[in-house]
Chain A
């Protein structure tokens, strides 16, 4: 149970800046997710909080107290490492028991046995307790590592991709389990992942990290509906968001945008129009989630965009339908059993109400319809 704060933390490895002026605050009992591409600096943030890496500049605070000079052992944090970091020479049981046998967090053996077996049952690894890490699969090692982390009652759990090496079924199960545990444990958790579904389903709040900086910090809904820039927009959602060039049309009473070389312009909502006018620019990028595009094989309205079927990728309960419109590819979703010839004609209609408008130069969000509904303040 702790409130954790990073203030202007900067850290470099050689010439590469791993963290660049990171400030964030994790509330007590919060499930906080650090999300971003590989090499963004997520792990470094965790290690800085754990005290394994020391920041060059900036402060790390636990419950308002500066802990920059507190030894990792004394910080009372529990961490899952991405490469498991199991002790190779002792069994899974001893690995999980290790934190409770250290001089700092010493417990008696009966208590240890009880705790370890409970955690092992939870992780479904109770049959592996006598094995050395070398004789386990990666998924099993990862669960032992997670067990060693959860067996304690620390101020904060730090988890570095703890589910990355599990098979899909187990991953979904463990995800639900973690969510449940978090609610019961009343412990702050900081969780690193590069899987947007984990981020959205687990995180009370999410910080999107890129190049050692925080791109956006907020709830999952904020990330999904009002990403601050195209980078964040692309990270969330499967298939990836469509981002297309759009030209703002100002002639006469025509309030709309033109895109994809279509003759007809698309009407846009009033609030969006006002915001676009306010920028004084005419070139934008428009972000459209796949579900905001619908398709049909016959022209329904004059606004439908004519294209050709480019490819269909079934992904289980749906398929990603790629449509070629004047050499740009639009991604939309279809039922997995969609029967369509390659290169056959197809018509796409756009739900402009859900479109996000980004500045063409800075790639930052300008506006979306009913923005206030999704967020209190755009950061």
Chain B
């Protein structure tokens, strides 16, 4: 039991630690946003006090095709997550519910896609993509991004399916629901926290992916991570413009994470199923 003073003290310390941590976590973001308003001239000789300018934004958004790369990135990452959800949820269900030969081996193989360093497989992939004419196409990138998004989604959602007792599904069937209603009304709400969280994480990983889009796309399609490289010129680095590109690139992730925050809290369905 804590006395009044002690609990006040411990709360104070807790809050202090949290404040320190949030400064630690947020400062890079703040710093990045700050230098977007600095001109190249003031980049190195000012810290917090400088003449703000929108020149960097103008240069990036109007001067280059950054907006197109942004849209490309949305298409590729969003498409990759969509495919992963459509294919991954049934796959996760099958891995959780059915018994078949080499099931665990298959599950492990799927997971192992995440182990392999991207750089290791990029060369053979590059050659295959050239032959198949998938190089520099949306389809090609969405496909290769499955290596990033699918394993994560399958493994998280599979765990959620395994936590739902099979009798719950059977009960719903006996209650008179067809299989798609069982999925829609019973299973989906129960896996929702896992599905949303893993889809968001998968989106962030796909969005931030660099190696695949650098090697497997060229001039038609460019993602923001690759496009950011452009601001490193041979003679100088345009930190301001680069910061603009990075800030805009980070926005969707931040907004999505804020929107989905409440689903990121796991644990809605547990206890009841397991009883």
Q: B-contacting residues of A (Cβ < 8 Å)?
A: 47, 50, 52, 71-73, 77-79, 81, 83-89, 98-99, 102-105, 132-134, 138, 141, 148
Contact = CB atoms under 8 A, between A and B. Distances in A.
B170 A81 contact: yes
A315 to B, nearest CB: 29
A133 B272 contact: yes
Nearest to B99: A14
Contact of A103 (B165, B178, B272): B178
B203 to A, nearest CB: 25
A89 B189 contact: yes
B269 interface: yes
A78 B174 contact: yes
B168 A85 contact: yes
A47 B168 CA distance: 13
Contacts of A86: 168, 171, 272
B170 A72 contact: yes
A98 B170 contact: no
A87 B176 contact: no
17 contacts: A52-B174, A71-B173, A72-B174, A73-B178, A79-B171, A85-B167, A88-B190, A88-B272, A88-B273, A89-B268, A89-B272, A98-B175, A99-B174, A102-B177, A103-B178, A105-B176, A141-B275
Contacts of A132: 272
Contacts of A138: 275
B186 interface: yes
B3 to A, nearest CB: 33
A131 to B, nearest CB: 10
A71 to B, nearest CB: 8
B184 to A, nearest CB: 12
B33 interface: no
Interface string B244-271: 0000000000000000000000001111
Contacts of A79: 170-171, 174
Q: How large is the interface on B (under 10, 10 to 19, 20 to 34, 35 or more residues)?
A: 20 to 34
A78 B186 CA distance: 18
B47 interface: no
Contacts of B173: 52, 71-73
Contacts of A52: 170, 173-174
Contact of B181 (A72, A87, A103): A103
Given A85-B168, A89-B190, A133-B275, 9 more contacts: A52-B170, A71-B173, A78-B174, A79-B174, A83-B165, A85-B171, A89-B269, A102-B176, A141-B272
Contacts of B176: 73, 99, 102-105
A77 B176 CA distance: 9
A47 B169 CA distance: 13
A301 to B, nearest CB: 56
B271 to A, nearest CB: 4
A37 to B, nearest CB: 21
B266 to A, nearest CB: 14
B110 interface: no
A98 B174 contact: no
A103 B177 contact: yes
B201 interface: no
Contacts of B177: 73, 102-104
Contacts of A141: 272, 275
A102 B173 CA distance: 9
Contacts of B181: 102-103
Contact of B174 (A73, A84, A87, A89): A73
A50 B174 contact: yes
Contact of B171 (A81, A103, A104, A134): A81
A175 to B, nearest CB: 22
Given A133-B272, A134-B271, A141-B275, A87 B178 contact: no
A69 to B, nearest CB: 15
Interface string B88-114: 000000000000000000000000000
A378 B51 CA distance: 104
A72 B271 CA distance: 27
Interface string B148-173: 00000000000000000101101111
Contact of B275 (A84, A98, A102, A148): A84
Contacts of A83: 165, 167, 275
A89 to B, nearest CB: 5
Highest count of chain B CB atoms <10 Å: which of A72, A103, A138:
A72
B236 to A, nearest CB: 57
Nearest to A136: B272
